[in-house]
């Protein structure tokens, strides 16, 4: 029955008792959910009728193949789904490969005609057995780098996120672009053989995120005054109050202080306020009016990236910073043997602020995260430093808690806070 064919002439209307809630009268995920709650089953039947309404749920990215229709289990015969209203969907795989070198957290980037962005490529279900295999292939082809540790980061599918259109080469310009982001970690940057591949520091794109050595000057000189103007430009007292609260939370202006995991929230707030170059680019591409902000500020708040790749990178930064606290992933960024000072400097580079040296050493040693190797290494000055490695439990399966991160500074000083929230 499930594979039988039918003609439009054979299709009858469902009984009145089923019309109000039957999934054939709704489209997409809402229909599937309501049918399941009602205790009915859904049959997917092949038909010459148009089946585009259900295309994203039965046939993947581009909806190729024969049409389908829905049928309620109590209907006398199947009912044709509504005509196509959805654009085709293109699935793209993005990689954020993170390393720390010379005290700088870096990610692998690719230089293209429209600027610098992350390595990415389309998922091909005929060629790629899994998303991850597809990702590894694209990164290797574009950068000549072989990925090691990889975890799925997030799926970016917001409508309009592909402005300017993140059209996949050879794809449909009208396609809705859904990006599946991955976070990859490496102990050292691989040598890139591709001429357009390069390593770039995170803080080239997010200069306000690096608090090592004190509050970034860009916060007090540019970001704080611009955010204050954006807050004051709210349409009503309630709107201004909401903006003020969001800015305080994102930039650590309240009692909680600066939270390094909120990298994405800070970037998105600045994007909304017109304080990054992508806002101006995307609004122009969409035919919208310019933001009510100073464009000179947007030009000075970090290097832009293609499409929404700076948003994807901010998501990866926040994820990795947060994950350090509950999983020992830091050791994916370290060589097999290391000094406690090099471990501390690597963590400081990732989280973007200085750690209390003695408290940090006590936490990693007493917490059983590392063990001595018995060897030492001569440093530039002073006595030789002991070499450590990750504890056996971590090396076996990663089954350990994360790190205590004793910060030296909690966030913006009172002067910077008052510039924004008054």
The pLDDT, as a whole number, for residue 211 is: 94
Contact 348, 354 (CB under 8 A): yes
**Residue extents of the structural domains in the chain:** 8-72, 89-203, 208-322+414-421, 326-397
Angle 206-210-214 (CA atoms, 0-180°, nearest 5)?
140
The pLDDT, as a whole number, for residue 148 is: 83
What DSSP string describes 27-64? Answer: -HHHHHHHHHHTT--EEEEE-SS--GGGHHHHSTTT--
Which residues have C-beta within 8 Å of that of residue 177, sequence separation ≥ 6? 90, 92, 161, 162, 165, 166, 167, 168
The pLDDT, as a whole number, for residue 418 is: 52
Q: How far is CA 3 from CA 68, 384, 389, in A?
A: 10, 74, 59
The pLDDT, as a whole number, for residue 409 is: 55
The pLDDT, as a whole number, for residue 33 is: 34
The pLDDT, as a whole number, for residue 407 is: 67
Angle 389-392-395 (CA atoms, 0-180°, nearest 5)?
80
In 3D space, the residue among 329, 350, 355 whose CA is nearest the CA of residue 340 turns out to be 355
Tell me the pairing of strands 176-185 and 149-156.
antiparallel
Contact 318, 206 (CB under 8 A): no
Task: Give me the residues of the chain with pLDDT under 70, please.
Answer: 1-85, 160-174, 256, 395-401, 407-422
SS (H, E, C) 148-177: CEEEEEEEECCCCCCCCCCCCCCCCCCCEE
Contact 150, 135 (CB under 8 A): yes
Topology alike, domains 89-203 and 326-397 = no
What's the CA gap between 47 and 4, in Å, rounded? 8
Tell me whether the omega of the peptide bond preceding residue 164 falls within 30 degrees of 0, making it cis.
yes
What's the CA gap between 41 and 318, in Å, rounded? 41
Q: pLDDT, tens digit, for every residue of 54-67?
A: 233 223 333 333 33
In 3D space, the residue among 200, 397, 232 whose CA is nearest the CA of residue 306 turns out to be 200
The pLDDT, as a whole number, for residue 39 is: 36
Contact 182, 94 (CB under 8 A): yes
CATH class belonging to 326-397: mainly alpha
Q: pLDDT, tens digit, for every residue of 238-270?
A: 999 999 999 999 998 877 688 999 999 999 999
What's the CA gap between 153 and 159, in Å, rounded? 19
The pLDDT, as a whole number, for residue 17 is: 41
The pLDDT, as a whole number, for residue 28 is: 35
The pLDDT, as a whole number, for residue 194 is: 79
Question: In this structure, what token pair is assigned to residue 239?
Answer: 């709107």
What's the CA gap between 56 and 298, in Å, rounded? 37
Residue-wise over 358-381: b if at least 16 C-beta within 10 A, else e?
Answer: eebbebbeeeebbeeeeeeeeeee
Q: How far is CA 196 from the centre of its chain?
A: 23
What is the pTM for the complete model shown? Answer: 0.75
Question: In terms of DSSP H, where are the helices of 273-384?
Answer: 277-285, 295-300, 309-323, 340-351, 357-366
Which fold, 89-203? Nucleoside Triphosphate Pyrophosphohydrolase (3.90.79)
């Amino acid at each position: 029955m499930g594979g039988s064919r039918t003609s439009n002439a054979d299709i009858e209307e469902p009984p009145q008792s089923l019309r109000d809630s039957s999934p054939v009268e709704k489209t997409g995920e809402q229909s599937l959910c309501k049918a399941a709650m009602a205790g009915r089953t859904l049959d997917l039947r092949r038909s010459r009728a148009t089946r585009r309404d259900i295309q994203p749920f039965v046939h993947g990215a581009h909806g190729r193949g024969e049409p389908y229709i829905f049928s309620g289990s109590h209907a006398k015969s199947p009912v044709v789904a509504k005509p196509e209203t959805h654009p085709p969907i293109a699935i793209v795989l993005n990689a954020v490969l993170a390393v720390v070198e010379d005290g700088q957290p870096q990610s692998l980037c690719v230089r293209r005609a429209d600027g610098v962005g992350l390595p990415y490529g389309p998922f091909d279900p005929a060629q790629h057995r899994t998303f991850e295999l597809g990702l590894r292939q694209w990164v290797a082809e574009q950068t000549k780098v072989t990925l090691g540790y990889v975890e799925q980061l997030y799926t970016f599918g917001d409508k309009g996120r592909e402005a300017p259109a993140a059209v996949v080469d050879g794809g449909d310009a009208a396609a809705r672009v859904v990006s599946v982001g991955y976070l990859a970690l490496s102990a050292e940057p691989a040598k890139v053989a591709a001429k357009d591949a390069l390593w770039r520091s995170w803080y080239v794109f997010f200069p306000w995120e690096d608090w090592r050595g004190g509050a970034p000057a860009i916060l007090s000189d540019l970001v704080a005054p611009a955010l204050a103007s954006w807050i004051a430009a709210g349409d009503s007292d309630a709107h201004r109050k909401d903006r003020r609260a969001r800015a305080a939370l994102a930039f650590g202006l309240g009692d909680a202080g600066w939270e390094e995991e909120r990298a994405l929230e800070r970037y998105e707030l600045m994007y909304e306020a017109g304080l990054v170059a992508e806002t101006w680019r995307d609004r122009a591409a969409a035919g919208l009016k310019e933001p009510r902000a100073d464009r000179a500020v947007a030009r000075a708040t970090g290097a832009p990236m293609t499409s929404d790749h700076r948003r994807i990178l901010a998501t990866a930064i926040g994820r990795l910073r947060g994950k350090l606290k509950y999983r020992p992933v830091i050791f994916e960024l370290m060589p097999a043997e290391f000094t406690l000072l090099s471990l501390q400097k690597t963590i400081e580079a990732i989280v973007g602020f200085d750690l209390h040296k003695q408290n940090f050493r006590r936490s990693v040693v007493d917490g059983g995260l590392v063990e001595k190797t018995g060897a030492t290494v001569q440093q530039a000055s002073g006595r030789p430093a002991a070499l450590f490695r990750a504890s056996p439990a971590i090396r076996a399966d990663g089954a350990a808690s994360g790190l205590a991160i004793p910060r030296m500074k909690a966030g913006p000083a009172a002067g910077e806070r008052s510039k924004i929230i008054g």
